[in-house]
Copies of this chain bind each other. A is one copy, B any other.
Amino acid sequence: MPDNQTILLKSRPSGKPTLANFDLTTTEIGTPGDGEVLLRSVYVSVDPYLRGRMSDAPSYVPPFEVGKPISSGIIAEVIESKSDRFQKGDYVSGSLEWKERQVAKAKGLQQVDPGKAPLSAYLGVLGMTGLTAYLGLTEIGKPKSGETLVVSGAAGAVGSVVGQIGKILGLRVVGIAGTDEKVDMLTSEFGFDAGINYNTTEDMSAAIGAACPDGVDVYFDNVGGDISDAVLFHINKFSRTINCGAIAVYNSKELPRSVSVRPFLVKNSALMQGFIVSNYADKFPDGVRQLAQWLQEGKITHKETVREGFDTIPQAFLDLFDGKNTGKMVVNVKK
């Protein structure tokens, strides 16, 4: 039996995670029983929200256990099937463990079609990433044509899709990202109206004001730190903020502080709401249908950063916090 590489949570991070928090080891593969399949991982998704599961603080998803495998969204090939639902050679998507091969229950896996879109797209624009962008923007943001949308983490997996959907829906779209290269990409590849580099802009509030002459109606917030404070000064009456992520403060050892949003909310009758895609599971089928249509029509560009090799998964995850990805970060682990 070949070595089956597996990545465990070795220790809980304090502040920013490091490679020392992960343990690359090997595990037994096991044999599928009734209703189970044997899978070979192809693409592994790394996502900022996994940081939360590495801590043992209560959150919306249970924490990973120390000494046990980490899990995330994975596209896998069916090697052997003891389930009616899948055949050998099928590709599936599911929340799976960071293992090269594993046995999993067929229930909870969704078949994906490599003929309709690249396999990795099912972790990105046609997966939780795209659904987060689409449902967060439409369900909480409720954008109206002609309004102004600001997106933080705009060149990231979710942000880049949010901005493109914003343009489809007739909004002025301003993105905030951390390198000139990314900011260029916002306008040249993703169709944003303007981009701001938060690393080279001295006065973020002034820059947002200049890019949003009519103020900000919808703010899709993936970062949650100082950048979001700067946006706050420009929110319009009845504005909506989608609090989708707070990557800027996930690794904070101290309780993060900010400009108080409360007087701004009172003054503007404004809304802020936390968004977690899993709360909207009943809207997934419609969402995927809409996203797939836009993808096929060429209205959405599918951008990803692909790393190679199973053992690069932890570093790919760590690199999210340094903004080293453009679009969705995935790891191709197929040998």
Q: Could you list which residues of chain A lie within 8 angstroms of chain B, going by C-beta atoms?
A: 52, 59-60, 221, 224-225, 228, 237, 243-246, 249-250, 255-276, 279
Nearest neighbor of A279 in chain B, beta-carbon distance: B269
CB distance from A333 to the nearest CB of B (A): 29
Nearest neighbor of A244 in chain B, beta-carbon distance: B266
Q: Say whether, besides A260-B257, A272-B273, A273-B271, A266 and B279 are in contact (CB < 8 Å).
A: no
Nearest neighbor of A140 in chain B, beta-carbon distance: B271
Q: Once the chains bind, are B267 and A270 in contact (CB under 8 Å)?
A: no
Q: Say whether, besides A60-B237, A237-B60, A260 and B249 are in contact (CB < 8 Å).
A: yes
Bound complex: CA A249 to CA B274 (Å): 24
Nearest neighbor of A238 in chain B, beta-carbon distance: B279
Q: Once the chains bind, are B60 and A267 in contact (CB under 8 Å)?
A: yes
Contacts of A271 in B (CB 8 A): 271-274
Main secondary structure of the interface of A (DSSP, over half): mixed
Bound complex: CA A267 to CA B274 (Å): 7
Q: Once the chains bind, are A262 and B237 in contact (CB under 8 Å)?
A: no
A274 touches which one: B52, B243, B245, B265 (CB < 8 A)? Answer: B265
Q: Once the chains bind, are B256 and A258 in contact (CB under 8 Å)?
A: no
CB distance from A254 to the nearest CB of B (A): 10
Contacts of A269 in B (CB 8 A): 60, 273-276, 279
Bound complex: CA A249 to CA B260 (Å): 9
A262 touches which one: B60, B246, B266, B279 (CB < 8 A)? Answer: B246
Nearest neighbor of A59 in chain B, beta-carbon distance: B267
Bound complex: CA A268 to CA B272 (Å): 12
CB distance from A248 to the nearest CB of B (A): 9
CB distance from A120 to the nearest CB of B (A): 26
Bound complex: CA A246 to CA B259 (Å): 14
A266 touches which one: B258, B265, B275 (CB < 8 A)? Answer: B275
Contacts of A267 in B (CB 8 A): 52, 59-60, 274
